[in-house]
Amino acid sequence: MSDAEWDSWQSAWKGATGPLPDVRARARAMARRHRLDNLGGLGMILFGFGVSIWLIASGRRHDTIIGIIDLAFCITILAGFFWIQRGVGAPRIGNPRDALAFLERRIRAERRGAWFGAPAYLLLFAFAGSISHQAVDDLDWPVRLFVTIVLVLGLSLTAALPWIVYRRTRAQQDEVVRWRAWLDEQHL
């Protein structure tokens, strides 16, 4: 929606009571953040592919096994990434109802991602841990301790991921609900 069209919408709101919701600015900011998040996510997935290929090409047995596991994990995460992103995009922010619909799709995508990511990471940790324990056993005790700490922290964070994302997006969802109620009250 152009600025002129948006101004036209705002003139229709002049008879409305209560504060005018700033839906457009929020939707634009979230669309920008969505694009940046997608670039960052794809960058991490590509980095994971590179590391997997490097490990597989190293020729060492344990590294090859870990590389194959990492490659399967990256493929799974990439498929999940595209599954989560379906129907979220906002090529342009239209009227306020379109902006609210985009914000709701964005929140749903974040929550879907958390519910997809948690089991995917837990399966990776379990599978990689069961196969690579021999490689870790060959390491010195400080390195084993570090690996164990990283795994425990990773498992804890992964198990809590859906709760963390839900809590982080709850305020955004409440705001969208308030804006939708305001638009409904004003018959806009």
Joined together, the tokens standing for residue 180 give 């939708």
Q: What is the pTM of this model?
A: 0.62
Q: pLDDT tens digits for 73-92?
A: 888 888 888 877 776 765 56
Packed helices 96-137 and 141-185: angle between N→C axes, nearest 10 degrees: 170
Q: pLDDT tens digits for 156-175?
A: 888 888 888 898 889 888 88
Euclidean distance between CA atoms 66 and 132, whole angstroms: 7
Closest CA to 172 of 117, 113, 105: 105
Q: In which band, very low, low, confident or very high, does the pLDDT at 47 lie, cut at 50, 70 and 90? A: very high
